């Protein structure tokens, strides 16, 4: 597997998310090392009961209240909740209301590469170090804020 170089970008209008239940952002972004999907469930909608052979999933609830049923047990997940489900567990996503549920589903099956970041003290710097060894930059001055 090779990772695409460069930068790619997509936009999701969270005030008016797509009306499709499932939008595969991975393809739009050219991501090859993990899955990333935007999911929208209207009130009363639910997904299939499913599990994965190798892939663990993380759900990030962006809006609404998700009922995540795992092996028959319901877990209520509110806006801002982040939940991981292991590959062997059967799960189902359900929206019992009162409003629409919007979430990101991230999935991966390979071993995490670990911290491979390289930090620079400035844009002019050519030498890098581990991120924890480079101090955070000063905050922006008020005249540079939007």
Closest alpha carbon to 120 in 110, 109, 135: 135
Confidence of residue 121 (pLDDT cuts 50, 70, 90): confident
In this predicted structure, the answer to whether residue 93 has a pLDDT above a threshold of 90 is yes
> How far is Cα 134 from Cα 111, in angstroms, rounded to an integer?
27
Helix, strand, coil percent values for the chain (each to nearest 5): 10, 35, 60
Preceding amide of 94 cis, omega within 30: no
pTM of the predicted protein model = 0.82
| Greater pLDDT, 7 or 79 | 79
Least confident of 10-24, 67-81, 93-107, 126-140: 10-24
Residues contacting 44, CB < 8 A, separation 6+:
95, 96, 97
Give pLDDT tens digits for 18-43.
667 888 888 888 888 888 999 999 99
């Amino acid at each position: 597997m090779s990772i695409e170089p460069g930068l790619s970008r997509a936009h999701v209008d969270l005030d008016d998310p797509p009306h499709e239940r499932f939008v595969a952002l991975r393809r739009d972004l050219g991501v090859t090392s993990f899955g990333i999907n935007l999911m929208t469930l209207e009130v009363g909608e639910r997904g299939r009961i499913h599990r994965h052979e190798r892939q663990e999933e993380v759900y990030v609830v962006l809006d609404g209240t998700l009922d995540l049923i795992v092996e028959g047990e319901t877990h209520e997940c509110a806006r801002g909740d982040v939940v991981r489900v292991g590959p062997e567990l059967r799960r189902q996503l359900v929206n019992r209301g009162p409003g629409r549920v919007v979430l990101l589903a991230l999935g991966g099956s390979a071993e995490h590469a670990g911290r491979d970041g390289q930090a620079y003290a400035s844009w002019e710097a050519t030498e890098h170090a581990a991120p924890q060894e480079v101090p955070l930059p000063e905050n922006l001055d008020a005249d540079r804020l939007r």
